[in-house]
Chain A
Amino acid sequence: MRRREFLRYGGAFAAFTAVSTSFPSFSAAQTTDPADAPTGEEADFDLEIVDVDVELIDGSVVPMYAFAHAGKTPTIPGPILRVKQGDTVRIDIRNSSSRSHGFQILGQDNASASGLDPSDGDGEDKARIEFVATKPGTYFYVDGDNMPINRVLGLHGALIVEPKNGFADGAAKKKPMPYAPASSASIKSLFGALGEAAIGGKPARFPGKAWQAGREYIWIFNQIDPVLCRRVAAGENFSASDFQEQFHPRYFTINGLCGLDSAHDKATCPTGNTGEPALLRTMNAGLATHSPHIHGNHVFVLTQSNANGVPVYQQDLFEHDVWLMPPMMVKDVLLPFTAPPDIPPAPWRMSQEKYPLRYPMHCHNEISQTSAGGSYPMGLVTDWHIDGPLATS
């Protein structure tokens, strides 16, 4: 998607260029990191907003909205936008929905457009936003119009900013990390420890491999109220407060999926050998507060978004088996993929245990483990599994 062809500016575009007045002005990632300076590299995306019907876990169908790469199959959440720190990011957005929409990246400056009328179909009426990607981490992009309705009805996705120089071990470059080494001494120390069998002559906790760039999963949580979906599709307009007041979700999704479907989804269910740490970028697009709980390993909480959607690098890495995810929270956590630590001493392949070592991750506010008032555990759950013995680097 880099180096896109020249885009003709349609007449409709002029109307979109004015900075939105419907949002608070965001003071985004204000860092003094010199790596935030523009590199001249470009990242271009062409997105489209469409109306969709979504089939839920029990076969029922609800009307929602979705993002797509222009002309491609729409998905909820929308396509992953992956850029490098310092890239000049250009995103063109066409509104092919029957309703008016907007687009906004939370936590990046100059990254919003609003009031996009439905496209008239001549292919020229696109809005464009352009900004320099700063501060490595995970960001929400959403339709910021009609907050929170359009977002909860499907218009949300992840923008990932990769670091320009993300190594915990300087020039040796054997220890990649997803942020700049100066982000936090503890994060640097953790990524430096991954893959070390011994530290200071003592057995260490993370033998195996260092974290590998790209070894990551994105978990976006959402909730669906089928009644409100249908009422919006039928043309009803809600104020934000009315919508929030009446919001009564009956389906709870991770990456748009429930229960068995999310446990089966390769992009959702982390797998690997012992000693292959994985980054989990966790995000809550909905209105409920989730309490994701993982079995088998604890996670280290690395980042937490502030009220503007900017990742805050944690100086103290709390190791949780449940982490708090209020609405619009983004937290990057590290799943170390160590051997489950409370197994009595045993070789990798115990003789009677069931393999692979499969564990669930589910929201512990168990209301979210239902769909349509029952059907436990067809809600916000997935699995992860450890497939093999200690990986060697």
Chain B
Amino acid sequence: MTTIYRPISDPLEYDTFGCHPFENDPATPDRTTRQVFFQRQVADWNVDMKDGSQLQFWGFKDPNVSGSDSPWPSKIIRVKQGQIFHCEFKPTKGAHTIHWHGIEPTPMNDGVGHTSFEVKSSYTYQWCAHQAGTYLYHCHKNTVLHFEMGMYGVLIVDPVTASPDSGNPKYLYDPYDRASTTEAPGITVGAPYAAESILVFDDVDPVWHKLDHNAGMCGDDVGLDKFDPRYFLINGVHNGLTQIDRRTTTTTTAGKNVLVRLANASYSRLHVTLDVDAWIVEVDGRPLRTNVAKGAFAKPKLLPKGTRLEVAVAQRYALWIPKIPRGDYRITGNFHHWITNKKHFDGQAVAKIIAT
């Protein structure tokens, strides 16, 4: 019988690609003057699950926040489009990185071990977001484990200009050229809003939360092919509380515009439905608008209430609800197995918008 052999590779390179990625603490290359500055360190937390058990999670804390640690998931980072961003990162408990998911900086600032380095004790990341939108940041070391352990947070890039709509003072994106920008009916250019619901869906396999930092990196079988999620959360709130916890409920005045930012931080297929009409106005940090000169080739798209939107793992969607009518609205996430597509047992988490 014919054998298809794998290509010949250099054992040293094999080793640094996987088992022993390059660790370093370089000075930021081509460093320039910053306009916004953040700091992050590595921390761990115990988080309550629905059945009362507590599991260990890891994440990024802001050392400037007193009272030991900031919450899990890690604190939202918010910057403005066009700002030179610096984040001083000081990992502890071994090497980690920060990957600015959806942001496209140089490789040294991308936070991926095998294409640059993992941070041993300190590094200052540098980038300059060119486009307002919804992003994530997360550790990219042994990512399969560190992402599941909760090393992520939301990153939002806001537009530079102020909203022209005083009733809806925030703004999803700059309408850089109104004259050449066409939009779908019902859409106000730039999607101004008064209230914002930011929802990150996650699933948890408790077995993984007992593993070591480097588990499985050097060829041993530690079961990272077996993911059997038991708990389902939004923004770190288990699904027994998501309809009442303030971290997963948004209150607004009826008649205002509401923006919903969705992200899937689970390892499941995530099906989301809203029981109110919404417009998809942004995907993965890129607004939907038609402007050939700017390389934008899509219109906002209506997501009629009750329609299922599948959010791939680590994808983001921004949904815009114009002039929300008075009422309570559910944002329902159903978690399905990534192979069988069967819904997981108890695999549903519901967030709420309350318009009064």
Q: Could you list which residues of chain A lie within 8 angstroms of chain B, going by C-beta atoms? A: 50-59, 61, 63, 66, 73-76, 186, 189-190, 192-193, 198-200, 202-206, 244-245, 247-250, 256-257, 259-261, 263-265, 287-289, 291, 293, 295-298, 300, 316-326, 336, 340-346, 350-354, 357-360, 363-367, 369-370, 372-378, 383
Contacts and interface: CB of A to CB of B under 8 A. Distances in A.
Contacts of A300: 297
Given A55-B3, A256-B4, A324-B315, A319 B292 contact: no
B210 to A, nearest CB: 15
B7 A264 contact: yes
B143 A365 contact: no
B4 A373 contact: no
Interface in B209-264: 215-227
Interface stretch (B61-69, B89-97, B104-112, B319-327): B104-112
A291 B29 contact: no
Contacts of B100: 342
A295 B135 CA distance: 13
Interface centre among B106, B108, B315 (most CB of A within 10 A): B106
Interface in B117-166: 126-131, 142-145, 147-148
B17 A377 contact: yes
A374 B298 contact: no
A373 B284 contact: no
A51 to B, nearest CB: 6
Contacts of A377: 17-18, 114, 143-144
A344 B108 contact: no
Interface stretch (B193-201, B333-341, B344-352): B333-341
A315 B223 CA distance: 42
What are the 10 tightest A-B residue pairs by CB atom distance, in nearest-first order? Answer: A374-B216, A352-B29, A205-B295, A373-B221, A316-B298, A366-B144, A364-B314, A291-B313, A324-B312, A291-B312
A352 B7 CA distance: 33
Interface of B: 1-7, 9, 13-14, 17-19, 27, 29-30, 32, 84, 99-108, 110, 112, 114-116, 126-131, 142-145, 147-148, 177, 180, 215-227, 267, 269, 283-286, 288, 290, 292-299, 301, 310, 312-315, 338-341
Contacts of A344: 30, 32, 84, 126-128
A259 B15 CA distance: 12
Given A341-B104, A342-B105, A354 B116 contact: yes
A350 B288 CA distance: 32
19 contacts: A52-B2, A54-B3, A56-B6, A63-B1, A190-B297, A200-B292, A257-B7, A289-B269, A296-B104, A319-B286, A342-B129, A344-B30, A344-B128, A351-B30, A357-B107, A370-B144, A373-B223, A374-B220, A376-B18
Contacts of A200: 180, 292-293
Interface centre among B144, B145, B218 (most CB of A within 10 A): B144
B288 A316 contact: yes
Contact of A375 (B18, B99, B286): B18
A261 B9 contact: yes
Nearest to B128: A344
Contacts of B295: 190, 193, 204-206, 336
